[in-house]
Structure 1
């Protein structure tokens, strides 16, 4: 275990937590996190609460106070098995809604209610109804990065990690896939199914270019390049592998490449590097401003004040839950 330079008692008491992130957080920074980290651990016990954290959360959240971590699919699956009374979702609003859909009797909190998503904001329930009217009989496959209102208008949900499997399970030649245009195009190329798209894009992944990948290869000729399928198709084409954040993690952990570039949100590399310092991460990453609205201080306040509680209209929740559960059954 790391022996920290003496600071406050909280710093000493949380040395075991710091040990998890010592490869990515300088020792001089830990005193800024220690008090909140210690308080969150105590409050979780007092409230019978768990913290669910997405892979894009910063290391002090991801490794030090979270009970369940993963991509959207993993968090959705694990949310079903939570026995705690309270779920704090360190992520963005649609993820907290999904946790509430799957745990309607539990209290679900989001530390910052303004933690949104460009994809979720790109489409409304009325838009889905219009797409259905223009394409009668064509099933609607909705990415989980959407509001409960949009999920409620859908036939089935998907994530970047299971989209191919979900679409192929429908046994049709044509689907409406919303709202991420690039994800839909990348999935269509893998399935041979005609995909009707919607012009939504992730503000993190749409900024990557094929030239970024070529620059990585020029500067780091031995690096393996892994791209998220929310990236533009030409970026995916230039990469060695395209996959969800869970699939990226699995590749790094099992293959242990000497150098790797993760073409996704910045904290993804930090969180893997914390446990695998032997892998060198080349970092042409982009920050998600919504994910970064979360902090230890906000998670602590969320548990202290039991805010901000996520609620969903029951008439919407029933239909949205059905779409999520159909996905989980595939």
Structure 2
């Protein structure tokens, strides 16, 4: 599904999470936020290691993660209105030489300037569809910019406005840990490329799109495939047709929820903890495994709970609860529906009668949907305003800075994937693009 083109029209003020957080901090809103530090400019935190305000205390950023240099004062001190005008002027000067991509979870003040808005894969496709652009400015997080670089032309520069915009979930499966896991599994199962009498190899690796290029490259080298939240079932069917088991990373919840819906028993989905020998499992559990789940998760979607769903049903009889499949299994089971960000958007768009929706996904998207569909009542399951901490590090100040750099002939914050990683990563992505749903696959 292609990303959605947007015109440069400002959104209604109530779609802005930043405005709401500022109101909370000044006392003009009675809502709650997970931290008042979100009201500050993200540049206040660029020099510190970490994912930024709003991140989970348990999310420890890897040593050596990219840091953003100091943003010039003129951008830090500019008003929202001034930055808006400067971004429009820079885009006008650049014309077709630049394409600005905005992820669904970006703050409204950034999405207002995006030529396309979508999820990470949709936006990578939008980048690929514009070979005439000299630069692709990806307002998202690091792994997304890497994927855009994989799919764009060699002469195109992919730019991430703030290098500190990483992803804690993607970082939960680093390449050294995955390589070590693979070696331990090979000691148990034997050569991973040796098929049995039925033509099945011991393990097929599957990585979620929300992973580094290095992980995608690993998957490509070892006969595996990439998935998104919208095609995870199709990808698992592809993998089950080729292997006895699947090693699924980095998000355990998407893997568990998808495999469970396909009929895989929970006791055949052991969890692999990379900090423990054999992932904390015994040989028997791994021999019987159908899906080996990596110990990773999305901190945003882990905030949602069954208690929140119960409260929504109590306070809004007849509410329709839709959550993202990155949510824990009990939350997905308690909801009416679970689906990708695109699924959620389409479900709301397709509702012909005024409906109350309780949504379990990132707050920027939820508030945007509420503003776009005033005929419905749409609210976030989590009453605490807490956006994705790393997405929130993309601020209009950074967008203005990289765009004005392009106007001046300077490419700032370019993201480049080395060829030895990019080539196998593209293989894994192409396998995903070629995968087609099967009528039925036994668990």
Please give the TM-score of this superposition, normalised by the length of structure 1: 0.88
C-alpha deviation, 1:32, in angstroms: 4.3
Pair 1:67-2:115 in alignment: yes
Match of 1:145 in 2: 210
Name the SS of the counterpart of 2:374 in structure 1: coil
Whole-Å separation in 1 of the counterparts to 2:427 and 2:403: 29
Name the SS of the counterpart of 2:9 in structure 1: helix
Match of 1:77 in 2: 125
Match of 2:232 in 1: 163
Report Cα offsets for 1:37-80 as digits up to 9, x if no partner.
23223322433111111110122222x21011111231232222
C-alpha deviation, 1:141, in angstroms: 0.6
Match of 1:314 in 2: 419
Q: Please show how residues 144-223 of structure 1 align to structure 2 within 5 Å.
A: 144-154=209-219, 155-170=224-239, 171-172=241-242, 173-192=244-263, 194-223=290-319
Whole-Å separation in 2 of the counterparts to 1:279 and 1:61: 25
Whole-Å separation in 1 of the counterparts to 2:122 and 2:428: 16
Pair 1:55-2:104 in alignment: yes
Pair 1:323-2:435 in alignment: no
C-alpha deviation, 1:23, in angstroms: 5.2
Name the SS of the counterpart of 2:102 in structure 1: strand
User: For structure 1, which segment, 161-170 or 242-251, has the greater mean C-alpha deviation from structure 2 after superposition?
Assistant: 161-170
Q: What RMSD in Å do the two structures reach over aligned CA positions? A: 2.1
Pair 1:88-2:134 in alignment: no
- In the alignment of these two chains, the number of paired residues is 311
CA change 1:211–1:76 in 2 (3 A) is same
Pair 1:238-2:329 in alignment: no
Match of 1:273 in 2: 370
Match of 2:90 in 1: 43
Larger Rg over CA atoms:
2
Please give the TM-score of this superposition, normalised by the length of structure 2: 0.66
C-alpha deviation, 1:185, in angstroms: 0.5
Q: Which runs of 5+ in 1 are unaligned?
A: 1-15
Report Cα offsets for 1:78-108 as digits up to 9, x if no partner.
2221231111111111001000111142100
Match of 1:132 in 2: 182
C-alpha deviation, 1:272, in angstroms: 1.4
Name the SS of the counterpart of 1:79 in structure 2: helix
C-alpha deviation, 1:284, in angstroms: 2.6
Whole-Å separation in 2 of the counterparts to 1:52 and 1:326: 24
Q: Is the 8 A contact 2:363 2:387 kept in 1?
A: yes
Pair 1:17-2:5 in alignment: no
Whole-Å separation in 2 of the counterparts to 1:191 and 1:80: 32
Q: Which runs of 5+ in 2 are unaligned?
A: 1-7, 24-77, 187-191, 193-201, 265-289, 406-410, 436-443
CA change 1:250–1:276 in 2 (3 A) is same
Whole-Å separation in 2 of the counterparts to 1:204 and 1:58: 15
Give the counterpart of 2:169 among 119, 132, 139. 119
Q: Is the 8 A contact 2:15 2:364 kept in 1?
A: no
Match of 1:228 in 2: 324
Q: Is the 8 A contact 1:262 1:283 kept in 2?
A: yes
Report Cα offsets for 1:101-131 as digits up to 9, x if no partner.
1114210000111111111110111222233
Pair 1:284-2:390 in alignment: no
Whole-Å separation in 2 of the counterparts to 1:312 and 1:282: 38
User: For structure 1, which segment, 271-280 or 201-210, has the greater mean C-alpha deviation from structure 2 after superposition?
Assistant: 271-280
